[in-house]
Structure 1
């Protein structure tokens, strides 16, 4: 998908990926196969497959998409490219992983390809994704296919019926969840859930806890970060700020599905599409997913908040929590500090530097096609 400057493009980062006329000429890549490795599921792999069929018809290149579990993507790509096996031509993975792969000299520099490409418009990619998702060391080493950051979704009809307002902080989130938990939200006569969060171990749950911690620990903007002391690179996790984030995260379990600790992202999506979630922590996918045939229970009822905040923030000098003020949190609004978490920044495609040149040309042309506006 092209990540646009408009609010729609930012809040629907995981909408169906789109393509346009390829930069390549018809028949230019006859006989070339591009092997792509990525995560399973329709949102990413499925759209690559669909656009791959179109790309093959237009250019002759055969696009083969292999799906592996999320936890296996990085090690498989790293091993394949670093050992020179080169059975993978393109990796579509979390954009932030590109830094480590590039440090090992494994990523093709895409700037020379972009310079000759009159189809792609990088100004059409929102600055955050263009500068932080696609570039490593000032060079374009990846092309975005799906821009992401985590948000909180809520069922407006459910909150209205309970006389509740959309949350502004994580404490508000818990308060709203407690008021709506157990209500029948889809008309099937059964009680549903105040909160739905994917918490399965060894999956993607570690992103959710960071969404809770960010507004408590990061107060000075994106340059500050919230994992390490920038000057010493010592972790800043053992403090009251992160402690509070874990406590808030744990408490959401009181209002979630009983099996929540074993739910991955696909499981919580199935629940919200069935109308069983009053509040949901997610990426951009729920917006377009509510239009699916199996999501009629929530169509037109789902609203989103870009990020929740905190009325207390970490004093890094003492490790204690202090009330928000303009002096300690200059970007705060009405006494609340906000720090929306990009949660790896979305999915991007990188070309294997070790592939042969014709394959690299076809691989770049396909990623360009995925990135172009419709």
Structure 2
């Protein structure tokens, strides 16, 4: 009884208190240093705990959001995938000494974080391994912005689990591991997606999107990425965002859709970390490395081009019918960045694929 009273009280508080603004502030996360270890990349993982309605509850409502029939049908399978991937994630981080987690978004399906109980089921009670009791640095995905209260709830969720730290919709963060400094600029990519902006019937054409898709706000993110990257003295610099610039999916997001972000990526020679495609993959183009990590729960073979390699695809954990779950880890030296992918079916002992990135790399493929 006592636990239920506490949970109810926390649900009221998280729904009413907005200590962290849901709008347009952008902050620095500071600089955290570790003697050894790796940095984990994890994405598209939050399925368990959202309010799955009955057919009667959806009668007369649009077939989108929580009433999307495809998402309702996928829920049991997605939860199983999330639970087994959470266990695998803990095993990988136990083996590889993960120090922090950077997420590539879609932290909570289906319309974003709904309440404290959703956070408890989908995060607190899901990622319980000792090796995952580390700092999580989330980014926002398209599912995170659907409900008008979701972003505010995610920005305040650190009060209920100290691992969770999202200081604002976009922010920067430095991590040094083994004397190698990594600089991450975390963005909110949904406002840049033209289909969300122009289609008023899209579930992602939400009030949260309207708050941040004005030309001034889009430019603010571009300028923030430019300034953050220019001022950093890190050995390796990244942009972390949900949507891909270069994708293995047939319906990939084109660089032009990002409204100038890709020009900043090229200007500062950034490494791109993204999710959205429910797959693990590595792409190269325009002298840039793109690492997709979106396999934390429900995966999709079609997002991995059904395992068919196009010229810019270096690796994809998919075949004609199946895409594997998993995550990626960052480590390396001042001269070489190492990105290791771990696939669930291949186990936690060694990576399934390793990419080595060098400064000023040249890739002939133009996107």
Work out whether the TM-score is over 0.5.
no
Please, what TM-score do these two structures have when normalized by structure 1? 0.25
Structure with greater strand share of residues:
2
The higher radius of gyration belongs to 1
- Which has the higher relative contact order, 1 or 2, with Cα contacts under 8 A spaced 6 or more apart? 1
Please, what TM-score do these two structures have when normalized by structure 2? 0.25
